[in-house]
Amino acid sequence: MNFLSYGLMTPVNHTDVHEFILLGLTTRRDLQVPLFMAFLAMYMVTLLGNFGIIVLIRTDLHLHTPMYYFLSHLAFVDICYSSIILPKMLVQILTVEKIISFSGCAAQLCFFVIFGVTECLLLAVMAYDRYVAICKPLLYPTIMCGWMCWWLVAGSYAVGVFHAVTHTTFIFTFSFCRSNLINHYFCDIAPLLALSCSNTHTYEVVILALVSINCLSRRKAFSTCTSHLMVVTMFYGAILFMYLRPSSTFALDENKTATLFYTIMTPTKSFNQSVFPPTRKK
């Protein structure tokens, strides 16, 4: 597991940390403007596309179905997910001092986990919806009724909040005494644990359990929709690489690249879901 080595480090003299410095993606000045333009374009596409999907689904009565109800919430989560990270990242690319306060870092991690976990569960819910529609079409109106759809979405958000409270409480009760330099472009779990001199073994077990639970999905449900499978593979593949790798292969610089897939690239997944509707697998 990625984080096992952190909890075994010898503690040093404690120093209170009131703010962090994000090192960002790269320190090369010649890449700052190209990266800024590229990520700004991705962010604008994410905002405009997902807002468009939400407005279209809300205004078109023909799209008031469970599938598009879930898709509208997925689009909303994608907007929030990107907005937690990208605006701050864009400012940091063009500034010299990449400072984030202690409370700001905690808030960023908290909301990142909320919408990240909610996204995982909404993908699973959408897969289940397609499984029922394709494999049990006669029972579909009964199973995926209005109150069931509401509870599935509400439950996804509730579990996201639970995970966020758990992770944020654990991490920000640790002592940060090594440095205040975060080797990342936002406050993520791995680089924060790298700065802690506390014993994090219990939390590492919690991470393994929670991430493993989130990554469980029904194989039959995902096999019913090729476009959905592509999105899930990208999203979960990056998460598995981030949090369930052996510690011997762990490197924060590699994590930056992997994180780009599920924080910047996959928030455009709603387009894939809406442009390529689910079909029965032959």
CATH code, domain with 101: 1.20.1070.10
Query: What is the predicted pLDDT for the residue at 214?
Result: 65
Domain assignment present for 41:
yes
The two beta strands, 181-182 and 99-101, are unpaired
Which tokens belong to 264? Answer: 């910047």
Answer yes or no: is pLDDT of 70 > 90.
Answer: yes
Least Cα distance to 156 among 36, 76, 224, 225 occurs for 76
Report in angstroms the alpha-carbon separations of 165 from 25, 70, 191.
27, 24, 18
Q: What are phi and psi of 5, to 5 degrees?
A: -70, -25
Domain assignment present for 282:
no
Mean pLDDT of the chain: 77
CB 273 within 8 A of CB 231: yes
Query: What is the predicted pLDDT for the residue at 3?
Result: 37
Which tokens belong to 269? Answer: 């997944």
Domain assignment present for 29:
yes
Q: What are phi and psi of 123, to 5 degrees?
A: -65, -40
Number of domains the chain contains: 1
Query: What is the predicted pLDDT for the residue at 196?
Result: 83
Range of the domain at 210: 6-275
- Cα 254 to its chain centre, rounded Å, is 17
Domain assignment present for 262:
yes
Element (H, E) at 169: helix 146-171
Least Cα distance to 14 among 174, 183, 138, 188 occurs for 174
Query: What is the predicted pLDDT for the residue at 240?
Result: 54
Beta-carbon contacts of residue 252 (< 8 Å; ≥ 6 apart): 183, 184, 190, 191, 194
Domain assignment present for 271:
yes
Greater confidence, 229 or 117?
A: 117
Residue 251, phi-psi category: left (phi > 0), alpha (psi -120 to 50), beta (remainder): beta
Lowest mean pLDDT among 110-119, 212-221, 228-237, 243-252: 243-252
Residues 44-66 as b or e (16 or more Cβ within 10 Å = b): eebbebbeebbeebeeeeebeeb
Greater confidence, 129 or 270?
A: 129
Domain assignment present for 10:
yes
Lowest mean pLDDT among 22-26, 161-165, 254-258: 254-258
pLDDT exceeding 90 applies to what percent of the chain? 27
Domain assignment present for 1:
no
Domain assignment present for 205:
yes
